[in-house]
Amino acid sequence: MSSRPDPTGGPRPSDEGDRLELPDAGERPRARRSSPLAGVGAAARASSGAELRRLLASPMARLAVLALALVPVLYAGLYLWANHDPYQRLDQVPAALVVEDEGASTGGVLLSVGSQVARDLETDGELDWQRTDAADAAEGVRDGRYEASLLVPATFSSDLASVQQAVSAGEPAPPRQAQLELTTNDATSYLGRTIAERVVAATQQAVADQVGEQAASSFLVGFSTVSQQLQQAADGAGALADGLGQASEGADGLVQGADALLTGQRALAEGADGLATGAGQLADGTGAAVAGVDQLVTGVEQLDDGATALAGGLGQLRDGTAALPEQARALADGAAAVAEGNAQVAQTADAVATASAEAVAGLTAARGDLEAQLRDLGLDDAQVAAVLARTDELVAPVQDAQAQVQEADASLQALATGSAQVAQGAGALADAAPALAQGVAASADGADALATGTGQLLEGVRPLAASARALDEGASALADGAGQLAAGEDQAVTGTEQLAEGARALATGVGQARDGAASLRDGLVQGASGVPDLSADQRERAVGAINDPVVTASASTAQVSTYGAGLAPYLLALSLWIGGYVLFLVVRPLSRRAAAAGRSALGTALGGYGPAAAVGVVQSVLLWTVVVAVLRLEPAAPLGLLALLLLTSATFVAVVHALVAWFGLTGQFAGLVLLVLQLVSSGGTFPWQTLPAPLAAVHQVLPMSYAVEAFRSLTAGGSARPVLVAVAVLGGYLVLALAASALAARRGRVLSPADLRPALG
């Protein structure tokens, strides 16, 4: 290639397409052989030393390196310090307390629960409760002077008293639920609402427990009164049982007399029933005959009406179908003509579609010829691309039209096929139309004859119906008289039976009442012995069990002491990535001098990685010192935490180093993108399973996720499995990143004009 002198003493590329390859170390004669690792180590030490000397060359540079080392400490340390244990400082959060409770009287005792709630809240001091009125509280929540306001309404005590009154004697009114009105404003603080709700919920539970204890105590006190009243009821039931025994003897005598009367009455009723049965059978026969004749007349009338309607309808159908054969033939001829025309149109459309496809193919071939001619004329790639782009814009409408022609061709082919099928069906209809018209005419003639016959039949059956009705009226009168006689006798028998049944029921009922009274007496005695008569101490223990029947025993396999300790794993990993990211704002990822000197690619890569990794070690040690010694978060495995901090820092620095070594400023932007992805997908706050599916997949891939889980296990004293997995994953990322940096260093030994004069940086 042609070249011209360059101020650096080497050849200078004549155009942007030429590349300059730096000499390889293997091309220079060497006096003695050495191992590859020794060459790599020497290259790494030389590059690292040169970079460290550059970074520490001046006081300002040394201050810059110190500032880089402090970035993770400032980020994680200040955040953890600010959020170490915020719940211990909730008494600085202002909240309005409005007490409007008017109190209540229950059992002669004045109850003022609202004032007690206010005193308890102020004594607990979980928030800075300030007494005020409702208007100031509402205004203060709106403008942010108060994080929340709690209103105890005027009926608070009376509503709570209704619960105890509902379980007391002589208070039939249902209990009312008391309310506490909490007002918050998410526009000033979302967490303020959560904290206020938690505090008020605890207060609400305490009030509910107190009211429940009072109601349960009243309920248990009533057991003693119930026991005494049950014993009194048992005595009364015994006296009732004795009186019912005497009444049972008189009821037995009444039963015997009623049975004798019933026997005579039944004999008389049997004769009356026989007479009524014969008369009823005669009346049933004549009634059936009348019904049959009526049905016959009705049927003949319906038959006559139907025959007349059928004759009229078939006559109309005959008149309407007389011209059907000619109309069907005309329809068939028209459909055939349409089908033939559609077939010709489809044939023409097919020819047009073929021609349009050939035209588009010709345009495509012409585009290739045009590109070759433009390059023969000496136009560069950008100019050729611009001309071709303009050509494509002109050709695009033709291609769109060709696609529309193809679609129209397919539609016309389908239309031609459907038209042929319609023509075929119309021909079949025309062939069948004459036979159909003849059948309709024959049916109309038969219907006229049928209508004439049914009219004659109707005139013959109508007199028969009048004779049948006269016979039925006489039989019905006889049956009514016999029926009335039998009914009277049946009523007499029924009354006598009811008398006898009533006497027996009375005897049975009196006997059951006697037995029931005895059972009631025994049950009341047993119930009185089963109702507990609790002492004061027993009632107190029972009240506790009723009001709080379930107690939860909480246990945790691993636990942190404060909110800051729980947040620390996430911030440690995040701060180390930020620390590694900012290093390469100052540190050079690869040494051009080392590449020009022909040093090994791996040595050059390690030479750029070494200074950054050394600063990363300082960052990790300072971060660990602040967390353990200054903030005193007390991790379960402090030395293990330090070791994992060092490995995590080394890995994150290596990943960012590889990105910057390959892509420069674009790589720095990629490191920022990875920071954002890991910020939202590492599961540092909420469990990672709550993430959307794409971010959950990212969680499984990126290294910060594993570092956070391992830091969490080392901090809280959890399982060793997350730590081992994190070591394996971070180690794999470290090796892959260093290998990528070595490839970038090897690629960097071949320079292009773009490398010598980059567009950015």
Ranges of each domain in the chain: 36-83+562-751, 86-188
Provide the whole-model pTM. Answer: 0.47
User: Which of 141-145, 231-235, 661-665 has the least mean pLDDT?
Assistant: 231-235
- Is 60 exceeded by the pLDDT of residue 53? no
Alpha-carbon distance 214 to 164, whole Å? 7
Summarize pLDDT for 507-520 with one digit per residue, the tens: 788 778 778 777 87
pLDDT: is 474 or 557 the higher one?
474
- 57: part of which helix (H) or strand (E)? none
Q: What are the structure tokens assigned to 151, written together?
A: 């209103």
Confidence of residue 725 (pLDDT cuts 50, 70, 90): very high
3-state SS string over 570-619? HHHHHHHHHHHHHHCCCCCCCCHHHHHCCCCHHHHHHHHHHHHHHHHHHH
Cα–Cα distances in Å, from 531 out to 221, 525, 542? 11, 10, 14
> Which band of pLDDT confidence, cut at 50, 70 and 90, is reported for residue 22?
very low
Mean pLDDT is lowest, of 61-65, 150-154, 337-341, 496-500, for 61-65
Contact between 141 and 184 (Cβ < 8 Å): yes
Question: Residue 421 and residue 332: Cα distance in Å, rounded?
Answer: 11
The tens digit of pLDDT for each residue in 177-201 reads 788 888 886 655 545 567 767 767 7
Residues near 684 by beta carbon (within 8 Å), at least 6 away in sequence: 567, 569, 570, 571, 573, 574, 708
Position 652 confidence tier, pLDDT thresholds 50, 70, 90: very high
Amino acid identity, position 317: L
Closest listed residue to residue 657, CA positions, set 730, 584, 731: 584
The pLDDT score that the predictor gives to residue 365 is: 84
Residue with tokens 């409005």: 98
3 state SS of 152: strand
Least confident of 233-237, 310-314, 369-373, 572-576: 233-237
* Residue 271, pLDDT above cutoff 50: yes
Q: Using alpha carbons only, what angle is made at residue 703 by residues 698 and 575, rounded to the nearest 5 degrees?
A: 110
Q: Identify each DSSP E strand in 381-503 by its residue range.
A: none
CA atoms within 13 A on the CB side of 26: 4
Structural Rg of the chain based on CA atoms: 54
Q: For the purposes of burial, counting CB atoms within 10 Å of the CB of 98, is it exposed (0-12), middle (13-18) or buried (19 or more)?
A: buried
pLDDT at 14: 38
Within 8 A by CB and 6+ apart from 3, the residues are 11, 12, 13, 14
User: Residue 353: what pLDDT?
Assistant: 78
pLDDT for 597: 52
pLDDT of residue 215: 56
For residue 617, name the pLDDT band (cuts at 50, 70, 90). very high
Q: Is 384 exposed, middle or buried (0-12, 13-18, 19+ CB in 10 A)?
A: middle
| pLDDT reading at 105 higher than 70 | yes
